[in-house]
Amino acid sequence: MTITTPSFNHREREQVAAAVLTAAAKAESARGLMMRVQGTSITVTRQHTDFSATFEKRPGNPRLELMSRRVTAHETVSAFKFQAIALQAAIYKARELGWIA
């Protein structure tokens, strides 16, 4: 059995990626994910936990950089999952703000 995947051009790939990030951010906000924009930083926190991550968009850098994170030490798997989801949400917000393409 052969599985084929559709071939996307650059614009279509960007649209699919944006849709995935949008869906992830919406799903997470429904689960208590909150974002705060301050200057060129986006801080993502999860309600009722110690999890937070701050990302910054620096001039000349096309990506967000992780500046700090705070997690509960005994929940390392959840912490790594949170950091990945927080990055997705921050990217979505940065695109919404026009910081990144």
CA distances from 96 to 2, 47, 74, 92 (A): 38, 22, 34, 6
What are 74-99's pLDDT values in tens digits? 666 677 788 888 888 898 889 888 99
Question: How high is the mean pLDDT of the chain?
Answer: 79
pLDDT of residue 92: 87
Residue ranges of the chain with pLDDT lower than 70?
Answer: 1-8, 20-31, 72-77
Strands (E) across 1-101 are located at 33-38, 41-46, 52-57, 64-70
Q: Which of 85, 23, 93, 27 is nearest to 53 (CA)?
A: 85
Domain map (residue ranges) of the chain: 32-97
pLDDT of residue 37: 95
